[in-house]
Amino acid sequence: MWVSDLHQAGTGPDQVAAWYARQAAAWSERAASNGDDPEATARANFAAWNQAIYARRAAELAAGTPAPPIAEPPTSATPDLFNAPEEPPVNTSQNALLDAALSAAGRGWHVFPLRPGQKRPAITDWENRATTDPDRIRRCWSTGAFNVGIATGPSGLVVVDLDTPKDGADAPEEWRLPGIRSGQDVLAVLADQASSDLPLDTYTVATPSGGLHLYYAHPDGPELRNTAGRLGWLIDTRAHGGYVVAAGSLVDGHAYTATYDAPPAPLPPWLALPLTPTAPSPVRPSRAWAELLATAKRRNAYAAAALTGERDRVLNATSNRNDALNTAAYSLGRLVGSGALDRDLVVTVLTDAGLAAGLEPGETSRAVRSGLDAGSRNPREVAA
């Protein structure tokens, strides 16, 4: 459940219950005027459920005793936070977070809501739904004290995350050097090795854990993606497929704070180079592939052709390779679900294709597994 907890943000549950009652009435009216529109009906049901939740909280506060639990709503009733029919009661915390979201969007950075007081997204498909539209942002942040996420890929950003070690964590052998205590120290060593200055003259955010987020402009050329430890100990990066928590957000009562307000500097070449994926080598059908294809043909000729087509699409993708792999896995998963293809065979073929396309082993495995699982639940029957 990710209903905004406005009571914790400073607005009383009785006020929020009243707002949700108005929401339910507004969506019910919209549903009736549009011929019982199922989406509007679902939103009305969701709002009514939230009204019951907050009315229950108000009763608990008044009586000092727990009230009966409220049943969970159907998952199909989850609302789109960017489309609320009217504004709810707001408080200082909400206003500050709305200002933070609008400020980031004003820089051209695509924002989306994170759960109140947390770093986790409050919506699904956040990278595609992140926006710079101030009207959509106002509608979204009017519904709750959401933290602000910045989708780094659509925003044209590469953010270097300089962390601090967790309690009791020891540095890897290669970083057990005098004075190395944080990601910033490691970055200083890398800059020295590159005969360059420490690249701190860019937009910078201090994190509650004592780390720093350095914002850089994504360079021209290949699409950079997230990394963990590739540059060095305690240094991660966020680019396509990733997000960062924006300045002004609060986690466990501690703020993310902009410490240097400047436009993002170009990503230094000596940082861009190790983050750039290597171009995949041309892949020709191998004996192993030929044997796998022959096995698929013996089972179903149409499915074997689909296997070949999806494999080639992954190998030939010039961008968004992870998405291409996941889409291929979903399409072939539908044939796995109907029994036209063997799942293990598809896993082998798509894993080889993903790795050959330059994806990391972990993201390859996740993309294949999630796509196959989803496709298998929606089987597609084909002629033998």
Is 131 contained in some domain? no
One domain for residues 169 and 271: yes
Spatial distance between the Cα atoms of 371 and 322, rounded to a whole number of angstroms: 11
The pTM of this model reads 0.57
Quote the number of domains for the chain: 3
**Are 269 and 171 in the same domain?**
yes
Which of 128-132, 176-180, 283-287 shows the highest mean pLDDT?
128-132
Residues paired with residue 159 on neighbouring β-strands, in sequence order = 215, 238
Q: How sure is the predictor about 94, in pLDDT bands with cuts at 50, 70 and 90? A: confident
Choose one of 25, 45, 77: the last residue of a domain.
Answer: 77
Please tell me whether residues 307 and 243 are part of one structural domain: no
Cα distances from 222 to residues 156, 280, 320, 342, in angstroms, run 12, 12, 10, 34
Note the pLDDT of residue 258.
Answer: 94
Task: Tell whether 341 is covered by a domain.
Answer: yes
From 25, 59, 77, the end of a domain falls on 77
Q: How confident is the model at residue 264 (pLDDT cuts 50, 70, 90)?
A: very high
Distance between CA atoms of 244 and 207, rounded to whole angstroms?
10
Average pLDDT for the chain: 80
- Structural contact between residues 371 and 328, judged by C-beta atoms closer than 8 angstroms: yes
Do residues 191 and 248 both lie within one domain? Answer: yes
250: DSSP letter: E
pLDDT: is 93 or 69 the higher one? 93
Q: pLDDT tens across 195-224, in order?
A: 998 999 999 999 999 999 999 999 998 889
Residue 311 sits in the same domain as residue 372: yes
- Could you tell me if residue 82 is inside a domain? no
Q: Would you place residue 297 in the very low, low, confident or very high pLDDT band (cuts 50, 70, 90)?
A: confident
Calculate the alpha carbon distances from 69 to 7, 16, 59, 66, 321 in Å: 18, 18, 12, 8, 45
- pLDDT confidence bin for 173, thresholds 50/70/90: confident
Domain stop point among 214, 245, 275: 275
Domain for residue 54, yes or no? yes
Query: Is 264 found in the same domain as 302?
Result: no
- Residue 167: give its domain's CATH number: 3.30.2250
- Do residue 267 and residue 356 come from a single domain? no
Print the domain residue range for 62: 13-77
Domain co-membership, 238 together with 338: no
161 and 269 within one domain: yes
